[in-house]
A and B are shown apart, each in its own frame.
Chain A
Amino acid sequence: MSGSIGRPVSRVDGPAKVTGAARYAAEFAPVDVLHVALVGSTVPKGRIAALDTRAAQKAAGVRAVITHLNAPRLPYRPFDERPEVDPSVGEPLRVFQGPEVRFSGQPIAAVVADTLAQARHAAALVGVTYAAQAATTTFEGGRRRAPKAGGGETRRGAAVQALGNAAVTVDAVYVHPREHHNAMEPHATVALWEGERLTLWDKTQWVNNDAVEIAHVFGLPDDHVRVICPYVGGAFGSGLRTWPHVTIAALAARLVGRPVRVELTRRELYTSVGFRPHTEQRVALGARRDGRLTALIHEATAQTSAYEEHTEETLSPARVTYACPNVLTRYRLVEMDVNTPTHMRAPGVATGLFALECAMDELAVALDMDPLELRLANYAERNEEDDLPWSSKELRACYRMGAERFGWSRRAPAPRSMRAGAWLVGYGMATALYPAYRSEASASATVFADGTASVRSAASDMGPGTYTAMTQVAADVLELPLDRVRFELGDTALPKAPVHGGSITMASVGTAVQAACEAVRAKLGAANGRSYAEALREHGVDRMEATAHVEPGDESKRFSSWAFGALFAEVRVDVDLGIVRVPRIVGAYDVGRVVNPTTARSQCLGGMVGGLGMALLEQADWDPRFGRVMNANFAEYLVPVNADIGELQVLFAPGDDRRFNPLGAKGLAEIGLCGVAPAIANAVYHATGRRLRTLPITLEAVLV
């Protein structure tokens, strides 16, 4: 081991990114590439009664106008086993296969032209007449239509009874709005057919699944589709699934016999790649006077589309975060005529924790107890839901380190009791956790006579630093300097990798890279201090390659693996104007072994920024008349800007979870977003004495 793991190494792809050399999906331009503009439906439900494409077809530069009237019927071959990133109930939207309109913004026509300007101009000339139908465009309306079982119900003990008998109770409803990923890079697909073989340069978090899904849509053998995606300009979940625009790109390229590019506009992203669903949650807690929980009821009702059931892990924190003998969770879905929601960073867990951790803060108030003391009083020594020991848990250390760095002991307990000039000051905290998953993965490692190595896996890097971390792991095992190792990803021609989501990449691809590098060393007999050049010479070859496929063992049956964190936030509230500022956030995390402290810190900083947005800024403004997002742009859908961000501090508790995987890393990305919004919301309560249970906490909500 050369000791590359654990070092604060600069991002290996940094130079490519700061010089503009890194190429993202839309930037791959095959010769003669044509441009596509989409026409979206303007009604949320109904049928296309008539289409007039004559003007569009006559417009300059137009090669094709594709609608359900002229598009070929695509096979949409059924899956033996549905991709894990697709909802398990329902059918994905099929583009241009019929006149049905299922949501506002659904693509109903595509114009292919020589230039983007020509395509867009012609798209504006497409005339559509709808036979609109009554649509369900409000959450309340959907709820009246009998909610679906969704994720169902779990019970431990008798929570309802225990709540009735509890000495102290809190019971409240928490709401968060529809939120959008809004990664900086718009989704884009470039499609090129060569005979019956298709190459897609596509923005995706999972090239392997992207290829398989498109192969199913077009009825091709899986290996006839190659997907390439070396860089992902952020995704946060929007690139997990293969969305309809990918099919449109492949379909258009086939029809015109030329490569095409589909690049979604910022507005189109609001109806094309999913969103975090509007969810309403009830949390009821019962406790003894000493703070020990005796009952926990957590119910979530979330929106989904009329054609797919998207469910989230909103209620898993309720089941595992605290020790409690009586727990009831119940998940319901409300169907609306909208596009299907999808996973967005820390899906379900971040929002479930918002409700749970605000409720814990309310309980602390009801008990007249310090919020941190309340958490410690209910510390879960094992996963009570699955009745398993933790593979590792350093949450106590996180609480202690975070509280110390933040200065939690300086908190005056009473609301509105701390001030800084004209500003009310509030301190709030919350627990964070996220399940650590691991999936099967493959990688290959090749060493060359010049002392360099090439390591490959079809993984993704949407920003966490996969390139860098995998290079470190490989350099460590191969005992090579970092700059002698090159890691390649994002291509279905490479060994298969799992989805780049759920923070599983380090634990899954990392262990595959580790195994492939160990395998190539074993193959060479390179352990005896000989150089690779010498070993290769002895074997009479100029290179040696090994491939490894690794799978999780039975560790998940013996242990429960989660990443943990403790978040502390200070807010300042201007009483006259309702402005909420966040001068500082401290987060202390247990993520197992930290492969790269620099990029790990960046992940957590980014999570804090995202969490601040969730707490104070982000929401899709919804127009129920048209079933449409009104603020589908970066000026009106507010995301944090540089001036919104104060001092952010990230601490890591020492950890090395070899029970979870041989690398000891639990994964981090999702955990960064967890706990931030409730810490801020609880700080707003502490500052103002007002409990605001609906996100975002806007200044008008503070002022009322």
Chain B
Amino acid sequence: MELPRPRRDIELTLRVNGAERPLTLDARTTLLDALRDHLHLTGTKKGCELGQCGACTVLRDGRRIKACLTLAAMQAGAEIVTIEGLAADGALHPVQAAFVEHDGLQCGYCTPGQIMSAVALLREGRTGSDDEIREFMSGNLCRCGAYTNIVAAIRQAADRAA
């Protein structure tokens, strides 16, 4: 049986961490694979490819999304920020610094996604209580179980931002 062949390559320009990145991609390429395999921005992690773990969380136009659940082709023109785009001039973003200070990480694999979610969480105003932080960070799994320290880190970043 001959299956219809998908259209192979498309050309598009992604805007990632403030830079225009022209790409030629297999049309089926997810934003996650475009970031990791084509732009070599491997800070955005692949954990499940099903939108269930949050390791690939990035910001799109300021809102957190899962990069594995969207095609790169759907994000042309959007403003994408990844973990590599957070630190300014070598100085850690306050959330990044708080994660180091409170040991909100162990193996580090979920960490970029946790931090991108936390950055969005601060903007969303969902840091009113530890319980609220826990609830709105529950889309980001951490198998090492660093949750206690992640909450402490976000609490500190929120208090300092207030």
Contacts and interface: CB of A to CB of B under 8 A. Distances in A.
A115 B34 CA distance: 11
B70 interface: no
A547 to B, nearest CB: 29
A633 interface: yes
B52 A10 contact: no
A18 B26 contact: no
Interface string B103-143: 10111111110010000000000000001011101111111
Interface in B59-106: 82-84, 86-87, 92, 96-97, 99-101, 103, 105-106
B50 A184 contact: no
Nearest to A266: B48
Contacts of A234: 106-107, 109, 143-144
A233 B45 contact: yes
A117 interface: yes
A464 interface: yes
Instruction: Tell which of B8, B100, B108, B151 has the most Cβ of chain A within 10 Å.
Output: B108
A60 interface: yes
A640 B148 CA distance: 12
A606 B103 contact: no
Contacts of A121: 6, 28
A29 B106 contact: no
B124 to A, nearest CB: 15
Contacts of B135: 642-643
A148 interface: no
B42 A18 contact: no
A241 to B, nearest CB: 19
Contact of B148 (A16, A236, A648): A648
Interface in B2-38: 2-3, 5-6, 8, 26, 28-29, 33, 36-37
A91 interface: no
A24 interface: yes
B148 A115 contact: no
Contacts of A602: 103, 106, 144, 146, 149
A117 B36 CA distance: 14
A420 interface: no
A363 interface: no
A357 to B, nearest CB: 20
B106 A464 contact: yes
A469 to B, nearest CB: 13
A115 B33 CA distance: 10
Q: Which range holds the interface residue count of chain B?
A: 35 or more
B55 interface: yes
Given A17-B105, A18-B105, A186-B46, A610 B145 contact: yes
A671 to B, nearest CB: 14
A263 to B, nearest CB: 7
A27 B107 CA distance: 15
A145 interface: no
A125 B3 CA distance: 9
A639 B141 contact: yes
B110 A20 contact: no
Contact of B96 (A13, A19, A24, A607): A19
A598 interface: yes
Interface in A579-625: 598-599, 601-603, 605-610
Nearest to B110: A184
A21 interface: yes
A19 B139 CA distance: 20
B47 A641 contact: no
Interface in A235-287: 235-236, 263, 265-266
A598 B103 contact: yes
B99 A19 contact: no
A577 interface: no
Given A184-B143, A265-B49, A642-B150, A599 B103 contact: yes
B111 A17 contact: yes
A20 B112 CA distance: 6
Given A22-B108, A23-B42, A234-B109, A634 B148 contact: no
A423 to B, nearest CB: 16
Contact of B145 (A61, A265, A464, A606): A606
Nearest to B27: A117
A128 to B, nearest CB: 15
A106 interface: no
B8 A15 contact: no
Contacts of A603: 106
B108 A231 contact: yes
A26 B37 CA distance: 10
B145 A609 contact: yes
A541 interface: no
A599 B41 CA distance: 28
A464 B145 CA distance: 11
A427 B137 CA distance: 28
Contacts of A29: 37, 40
Contact of B52 (A11, A19, A634): A634
A642 B96 CA distance: 18
A280 to B, nearest CB: 26
B158 interface: no
Contacts of A99: none
A641 B131 CA distance: 12
B109 A184 contact: yes
A183 B42 contact: no
A463 to B, nearest CB: 3
B143 A14 contact: no
Contacts of B162: none
Nearest to B36: A27
B148 A645 contact: yes
A604 B29 CA distance: 40
A643 B138 contact: yes
B47 A185 contact: yes
Most chain A beta-carbon contacts within 10 A, residue among B3, B43, B135, B149: B43
A399 B3 CA distance: 66
Which 6 residue pairs across A and B have the least CB separation, nearest first?
A20-B43, A609-B145, A233-B109, A17-B108, A606-B145, A463-B106
Interface of B: 1-3, 5-6, 8, 26, 28-29, 33, 36-37, 40-50, 52-53, 55, 82-84, 86-87, 92, 96-97, 99-101, 103, 105-112, 115, 131, 133-135, 137-151
19 contacts: A14-B103, A18-B105, A19-B96, A20-B112, A24-B45, A181-B143, A184-B109, A185-B47, A231-B108, A265-B49, A266-B49, A465-B106, A605-B148, A606-B146, A609-B145, A635-B52, A645-B134, A645-B145, A645-B148
